[in-house]
Amino acid sequence: MKVLGIVVVMCMFGWWGAIPAAAQGCCHHNHQCGPQARRSPAPSGQSANLQTVEGKIAEVDYLAGATADSGMVEVRVQAGGQAQLVRLAPAGFLKQGGLHLREGDVVVVKGFPVSGMEGDLVVATEVHKGDVSLSLRDTQGRPAW
């Protein structure tokens, strides 16, 4: 009887452990799943999908971070009649690289497109403004900071 009780408890914990994974669309194969999968910058093979966004900055947004310099910077680039949201890098990294961005600045950004809960955006691998160029991530999405 004691063995049957242990088996029942183990099955219950096994089932409840699978519920959060199923809710995240995860089947526990050799891949990331859950909330951290959505934050993954680029799936393998993403370098072939790099795109270029060229246009005028319509908006600069500083996302919250632990410090003023650690907050992520996103810009909305007006290009071809459409505004494209572009995630750049932490404010301190941009400042250290000599890149100061304001509304109205013309930029050329290379990066990979990402769709997620926040909508569509481009995660930048490099950004060019005038004669200043800054590499932000490698082609696999790994940050330079």
Per residue in 43-95, pLDDT (tens digit) is 445 556 899 999 999 999 999 999 989 999 999 999 888 999 999 999 999 99
Mapped onto helix, strand or coil, the DSSP state of residue 23 is helix
Section 107-113 average pLDDT: 96
Section 26-37 average pLDDT: 36
**Which residue from 87, 43, 39 is spatially nearest to 62, judged by alpha carbons?**
87
CA atoms of 38 and 11, how far apart (whole Å) = 29
36 versus 111: the higher-pLDDT residue is 111
Instruction: Compute how many other C-beta atoms are within 10 angstroms of the C-beta atom of residue 99.
Output: 21
Structure tokens at 83: 């505004």
What per-residue confidence (pLDDT) applies to 142?
95
β-strand partners of 91: none
Place of tokens 């900071």: 145
**Which residue from 109, 111, 122, 119 is spatially nearest to 54, judged by alpha carbons?**
109
Mean model confidence pLDDT for the chain: 77
What per-residue confidence (pLDDT) applies to 85?
96
41-135: CATH topology: OB fold (Dihydrolipoamide Acetyltransferase, E2P) (2.40.50)
CA atoms of 63 and 3, how far apart (whole Å) = 54
pLDDT band at 139, cuts 50/70/90? Answer: confident
Structure tokens at 74: 């996103």
- Checking if the pLDDT of 18 tops 70, the result is no
73 versus 15: the higher-pLDDT residue is 73
CA atoms of 51 and 87, how far apart (whole Å) = 13
What one-character DSSP code corresponds to residue 32? -
What per-residue confidence (pLDDT) applies to 136?
98
CA atoms of 76 and 84, how far apart (whole Å) = 5
